[in-house]
Chain A
Amino acid sequence: MESASVPLPHGAGGHAAADAHHHGPPEAHQSSRIDKQTLGIFLFIVSEVMLFGSFFASYFFLRVVVNPVAWPAKPFELPVTIALMNTCILISSSFTIHYALEAIRKGNKQGMKLGLVVTWLLGLTFLFVQINEYVHLGFSARTESFGTIFYSLTGLHGAHVFIGLTLLTAATIRAFRGHYGKEPEKHMGVEIPGIYWHFVDIMWIVVFLTVYVL
Chain B
Amino acid sequence: MNFNEAAVFKWVLIFAAAGASVYLLALVAGELVGAIWAFLLALVGCAYGIRWTRDWWRRLKRPGD
Q: Which residues of A contact B (CB under 8 A)?
A: 1-3, 5, 26, 31-34, 38, 42, 84, 87, 91, 94, 97-98, 101-102, 191, 194-195, 198-199, 201-202, 205-206, 208-209, 213-214
How many contacting A-B pairs (Cβ < 8 A)?
A: 77
Residue contact B64 to A5, C-beta cutoff 8 Å: yes
B44 sits at the interface (CB 8 A): no
Task: Give residues of chain B (1-57) contacting chain A, Cβ–Cβ below 8 Å.
Answer: 3-6, 8-9, 11-12, 15-16, 19, 22-23, 26, 31, 34-35, 38
Q: Which of A42, A97, A195, A205 contacts B15 (CB 8 A)?
A: A205
Given the interface pairs A3-B64, A32-B65, the reply to whether A208 lies near B19 with Cβ below 8 Å is yes
Chain A's interface: helix, strand, loop or mixed, by majority? helix
- Tell me, in angstroms, the Cα distance from A98 to B11 when the chains sit together: 12
Residue contact B59 to A33, C-beta cutoff 8 Å: yes
Residue contact A214 to B35, C-beta cutoff 8 Å: yes
New contact pairs (16) apart from A201-B15, A208-B19, CB-CB < 8 Å: A3-B65, A26-B65, A32-B64, A33-B60, A38-B3, A42-B3, A91-B16, A98-B9, A101-B6, A195-B3, A195-B4, A198-B8, A198-B11, A198-B12, A209-B38, A214-B35
